[in-house]
Amino acid sequence: MQFSDRMSLLGTESAFEVLAKAKKLEAEGKKIVHLEIGEPDFDTPNNICDAGVKAIQDGQTHYCPSGGLPDARKVVAEYISKTRNVSVGAENVVIMPGAKPVIFNVIFAAINAGDEVIVPNPGYPIYESVVNYVGAKPVMMHLKEENDFRFDTDELKALITPKTKMIIINSPQNPTGGILTKEDLETICQLAVDNDLWILTDEIYSRIVYDVPFESILQIPGAKERTIIIDGMSKTYAMTGWRLGYGVMPESMANYQTQLAINNFSCTATFAQYALMEALTGQQNDVEMMINEFKKRRDVIVSGLNSIDGVSCLTPLGAFYAFANITKTGMSSAEFAKFAMEQAGVACLSGTAFGKYGEGYARFSYANSIENIELAINNIKLNLAKV
């Protein structure tokens, strides 16, 4: 059978492949510490589960409007208005089965073949993959360690051409844990206004910040009419398996997103949206507990990584990833990830899973217990000494 040519353009997210390899080694009896997948190890808070269960028992098991339940869209609009300090309405919100479909569908709706889209690199691989898939060209915005994994303004300006249609940003960032400052966001917004660009801002880690406040580009004057916020429930509320995300955008874009939903998945699970409403409006103690715990783990993993000969790591300001520089081990990123898995029993991701500028790095997700993080560090240290 034959497949469409465009399938060869689609990339992947290698965290899932590394997880499968780790599971295979475990099935063969090897012990593996999982620091590869970007998934909170906590359970979804009880109040949220209860709301989902109650909705099922109340019969909320049918189709609902494709853009989301009106009440759920309103709750998201109020949440975004409060957390981003700017007023948006339910008509600006579309609820989708995860943040990923928002990335896919927004690029699909905004970008033509031949257009250019500026993407962070190292960065979440799905942006580059989807931009390629629609026949457009991903243009790499190099995030360098010496800039705290933020972009260089002059370099960014030089990337913009008449073909540029969108800038994608992600702060707090996967894989580096870097955060863009308000000045950075002002620069992006000005460039977008001057060049009439869309801004796609992936804010899925907006609540997982340490030591610094979260800033959204939406609050910068001029941004609202050209910005799509991506956020969702997976990371903040430990709800990865519920498949619940949303986008906040100009109404014209929201209408196209609804049309794409009609054509693709009809609607997001109705009962799950009751859980979303409880998550955003109910008690936030569990979220605070998770963030405090992540912060403790961050400190353990960063000091642990820095204690390994040949490895160094900046302190991430958000998300739950440590992006360690491994160049002084003499290994490439792929070699290091292979060594970590096969010899040290630690699953982590090669920096190149996040693009070519990830060479020289490895990403460790610290969504795991302090005990396991310490075990991983010790195993890497011991085994690296033998290499």
Q: Give the footprint of ligand PLP on this chain (CB under 6 A).
A: 38, 98-100, 124, 170, 174, 202, 204, 232, 234, 240, 245
In the complex, what is the shortest distance from the CB of residue 343 to ligand PLP, in angstroms, rounded to a whole number?
27
Phi then psi for 347, rounded to 5 degrees? -90, 120
Q: CA–CA separation, 202 vs 63, rounded Å?
A: 28
Decide the pairing of beta strands 245-248 and 312-313. unpaired
Q: CA–CA separation, 378 vs 304, rounded Å?
A: 8
Please, which residue, 247 or 304, has the CB nearer to ligand PLP?
247
Instruction: Write down the number of H helices and E strands in the chain.
Output: 12, 13
In the complex, what is the shortest distance from the CB of residue 328 to ligand PLP, in angstroms, rounded to a whole number?
27
In the complex, what is the shortest distance from the CB of residue 170 to ligand PLP, in angstroms, rounded to a whole number?
5
Task: Evaluate whether 149 touches 176 at the Cβ level (below 8 Å).
Answer: yes
Which one, of 344, 337, 326, lies nearest residue 383 by Cα?
A: 344
Residues near 174 by Cβ (< 8 Å), separated by ≥ 6? 38, 123, 124, 205, 319, 321, 354
Please, which residue, 122 or 232, has the CB nearer to ligand PLP?
232
Residues composing the chain: 387
| Single-letter residue type at 223 | A
In the complex, what is the shortest distance from the CB of residue 271 to ligand PLP, in angstroms, rounded to a whole number?
17
Please, which residue, 92 or 234, has the CB nearer to ligand PLP?
234
Which one, of 112, 103, 63, lies nearest residue 249 by Cα?
A: 103
Q: Which two tokens stand for residue 9?
A: 């353009």
Decide the pairing of beta strands 346-347 and 33-34. parallel
Please, which residue, 148 or 342, has the CB nearer to ligand PLP?
148
Please, which residue, 224 or 363, has the CB nearer to ligand PLP?
363
User: Using CB atoms, what's the residue nearest to ligand PLP?
Assistant: 98
Residue 187, CB-side half-sphere exposure with 13 Å CA sphere:
14
In the complex, what is the shortest distance from the CB of residue 305 to ligand PLP, in angstroms, rounded to a whole number?
20
In the complex, what is the shortest distance from the CB of residue 110 to ligand PLP, in angstroms, rounded to a whole number?
17
In the complex, what is the shortest distance from the CB of residue 124 to ligand PLP, in angstroms, rounded to a whole number?
4
Residue keyed to tokens 């690296």: 384
Please, which residue, 96 or 384, has the CB nearer to ligand PLP?
96
In the complex, what is the shortest distance from the CB of residue 204 to ligand PLP, in angstroms, rounded to a whole number?
4
The region that residue 290 occupies, defined by phi over 0 for left and psi between -120 and 50 for alpha, beta otherwise, is alpha
> 50-76: b or e for each residue (b if 16 or more CB lie within 10 Å)?
ebbeebeeeebeeebbbbbbeebbbbb
Please, which residue, 124 or 361, has the CB nearer to ligand PLP?
124
Phi then psi for 279, rounded to 5 degrees? -60, -45
Please, which residue, 174 or 333, has the CB nearer to ligand PLP?
174
Q: Which two tokens stand for residue 234?
A: 């997976």
Distance of CA 303 to the CA centre of its chain: 24
DSSP bridge partners of 96? 245
In the complex, what is the shortest distance from the CB of residue 150 to ligand PLP, in angstroms, rounded to a whole number?
16
Please, which residue, 36 or 286, has the CB nearer to ligand PLP?
36
In the complex, what is the shortest distance from the CB of residue 359 to ligand PLP, in angstroms, rounded to a whole number?
20
Please, which residue, 67 or 247, has the CB nearer to ligand PLP?
247
